[in-house]
Amino acid sequence: MADYLVIVESPSKAKNIGRFLGSRYKVDACVGHLRDLPASKLSIDIDNGFEPQYANIRGKSDIIKMLRDDAGAAKKVLIATDPDREGEAIAWHLEYLLGIDNAQVCRVTFQEITKKVVQDSVKTPRTVDLNLVNAYQARRVLDRLVGYEISPVLWRKVKKGLSAGRVQSVVLRLICDREAEIDAFKPKEYWNVTAKLSKISDAPKASDKFEAKYYGTADGKKKNLSDKADADKVLEDVRNSTFTVKSVKNTTKKRPPAPPFITSTLQQEASRRLNFPSAKTMSVVQSLYEGVAVDASGATGLVTYIRTDSTRVSEEAQDAARQYIAAEYGDKYLPGFRRVYKNKNSAQDAHEAIRPTHIDYTPDKVKAKLSSDQYRLYKLIYERFIASQMADAVFDVCNVDIIAGSSLFKASGSTPVFPGYTKVYEEKQDQKTEAEGKLPKLEEGEALNVDGIDAEQHFTEPPSRYTEASLIKTLTDLGIGRPSTYAQIISVVFTRDYVVRDKKLLIPTELGKTVNQYLNGAFPNIVDVSFTAGLEEQLDKVAQGERQWKDVISEFYMGLEEELKKALDETARVKVPDEVSDVVCDKCGRMMVYKQGRNGRFLACPGFPSCRNTKSIIENVGVNCPDCGKPLIYRHSKSGKKYISCTGYPECKFISWNVPTGDKCPKCGKHLEYVYNKSGKRFVACSSKDCDYKQYGRGKRGSKKDAPEGDGGESNSGNKEA
């Protein structure tokens, strides 16, 4: 019988930790929350100080019984749920369920799932941090009040099945406001005048040529060219003028590396570089944190805790990184100091940044043990961390002013002098920062050849629509929500059909615009950016013990109660306009509109009920049918599951859950298809049940996103915070 019972959240984590601790410890998994607010009612006693009415979660009774039995048999219980507010709340609920006194020293946290950290952590337990618990309770109650009080109003005033959320509704507003900016945008004309110049030489070389752009008047005043007449004046001014170098300024520019990842920056960069939705990023990185078997010693966590907004790095990790950099790249790639990155004022410094736990586990060393997605994300984390500890990149920058007539032209160029951290990693958005190229060596007073002068018309462009990456950056900059919840929140606006994705761009639907418009009028505080950010600051103060959580709730509810009454009594019902497609109804000639059904969006005739014509929205697989050669498309079963069918149906009856590769099996001649194992790693296999042919590797066509749901599709396990 074990002396100690250790309770963690994940079964896979329990297995790994149990191996580190030995036979004196028994490790159980509670599998997330065991108590919560019941979904069947508000479950908050508003008249009694907003007291939450928790209940055991349905379906968790067997786990609760197991934990009680094991706790009763152990000499001491250690609760090692995740090291964040939600993990602290789960620990608090476990204390209640197991009858453990709040003052008992039983709380353990693991910043990384490695043998040393786990063994050291169980030796230094503490009490459950009630400030963190209360911050969680405040957030939970606020979200329940908003969701359960406002959503029914949306059902009555807009449409059944809608939902509102404290952060979700602000996210929708940001996306809708950006769309409104784009719709209202009026392009303005402007012109660029570019001179193609070169050094005067008896033997001209390609490197002697460069371009300079018109800047303004010769005395240095900037002037914008707003129309063709302005551009023609410049052309006339310089037509017969000599282009002469007025000044040459050479400087050396240093560019420091980006800090190691925090939760929000990891989601942004994974979206930009890997095209990962935020939900997928959190799922994959959770598996890296919980542990992967990379050698004979068994599974170990490859990255530190993944829900963090601190860029702090331990001295031990810095030392390991510096040793690796010196050995791999040389001492000149080390800065002469330890890099310390400044956190935002709101950042909680309880955790380190997201970094590899073992520097010697390089991406190439562990690649064979990881799925493709795990490897790509681990490589991103590893290289970002190593780069964050390296020397600055150095560039020689040259800025040249050139006079022609009464006009001033400018040219600039940069030349890499020392790659520094860019030897390992550059942020996706910064890769073109120093892309001007090299200028020839120029001297003040030097006359130049004119190889041509071009005047080009341009128009200003509207602001870009949000991508997941830019939306997460905006939310982080505004201080709205927590980075660990962004994936779940963004998923909700998609599932509610408030927002659709066009490639990477987020576009509000007509339903989303209508809901946002109604919420702006009826519940201005709920969708107000500064109000929501201020509420986050109050929750942080609760976590730091500076405010009582029920006081925060009470102040919030006073305003909400007043808005609820006005919304029910004074606002009119709103009709959601149909989104018109470019498909003509083949029965009556009207333009068909998009509708939302149980299995997703479809096309319907707006002439209903006189015309009941509907059409499914065809989604091509991108591969031809292995039986008849016609294109394959996705369809949905009655239960809503996605499968693959031939456009030649009913003559061709080919169907499949898996995406065909387009190739034949070399062993039996049947078609090959993409299949996924339990860890999400893709391989090619024969479609015949009687053939065992398999081929591991990247394959030729398709990707995991092509897999229908239920066949190795992406999991959101690990995004426990909502």
The residues assigned a catalytic role are: 305
Task: Give the span between the Cα atoms of 340 and 337, in whole angstroms.
Answer: 9
DSSP per residue, 184-202: H----EEEEEEEEEEE--S
Q: Which amino acid is at 481?
A: G
What are the CA-CA distances from residue 448 to residues 191, 200, 328, 399, 445 (Å)?
Answer: 24, 6, 46, 16, 10
Task: Give the Cα-Cα-Cα angle 698, 699, 703 (nearest 5 degrees).
Answer: 75
Q: How many CB atoms lie within 10 A of CB 497?
A: 18
Query: 73-97 burial, b for 16+ CB within 10 Å, e for fewer?
Result: ebeebbbbbbbbbbbbbbbbbbbeb
Provide the 8-state DSSP code for 356.
B
Are 4 and 24 a contacting pair, CB within 8 Å? yes
Q: Which amino acid is at 386?
A: I
Q: Which amino acid is at 232?
A: D
- Can you tell me whether residue 221 is helix, strand or coil? coil
Token pair for residue 458? 């341009």
Token pair for residue 639? 């239960």
Token pair for residue 216? 């303004």
Q: How many CB atoms lie within 10 A of CB 378?
A: 24
347 CB burial (10 A radius; 0-12, 13-18, 19+) = middle
- Can you tell me whether residue 666 is helix, strand or coil? coil
Backbone angles phi, psi at 459, to 5 degrees: -135, 140
Task: Give the span between the Cα atoms of 164 and 157, in whole angstroms.
Answer: 13
Task: Give the span between the Cα atoms of 131 and 662, in whole angstroms.
Answer: 58
Task: Give the span between the Cα atoms of 236 and 570, in whole angstroms.
Answer: 65
SS3 content of the chain, % helix, strand, coil (to 5): 35, 25, 40
Task: Give the span between the Cα atoms of 474 and 688, in whole angstroms.
Answer: 49
Q: How many residues does the chain have?
A: 722
Token pair for residue 63? 């786990």
Token pair for residue 219? 């005395």
Range 198-201 contact pairs with CB under 8 angstroms and sequence separation of 24 or more: 198/440, 198/448, 198/449, 198/451, 199/440, 199/442, 199/446, 199/448, 199/449, 200/446, 200/447, 200/448, 200/449
| DSSP H or E stretch at residue 322 | helix 315-329
Q: Which of 266, 256, 259 is nearest to 311 (CA)?
A: 259
- Can you tell me whether residue 213 is helix, strand or coil? strand
Backbone angles phi, psi at 404, to 5 degrees: -145, 115
Are 462 and 181 a contacting pair, CB within 8 Å? yes
Q: Which of 466, 526, 462 is nearest to 271 (CA)?
A: 466
What are the CA-CA distances from residue 587 to residues 225, 578, 597, 610, 615 (Å)?
Answer: 53, 19, 21, 11, 12
What are the CA-CA distances from residue 647 to residues 142, 513, 635, 697, 710 (Å)?
Answer: 49, 35, 10, 30, 22
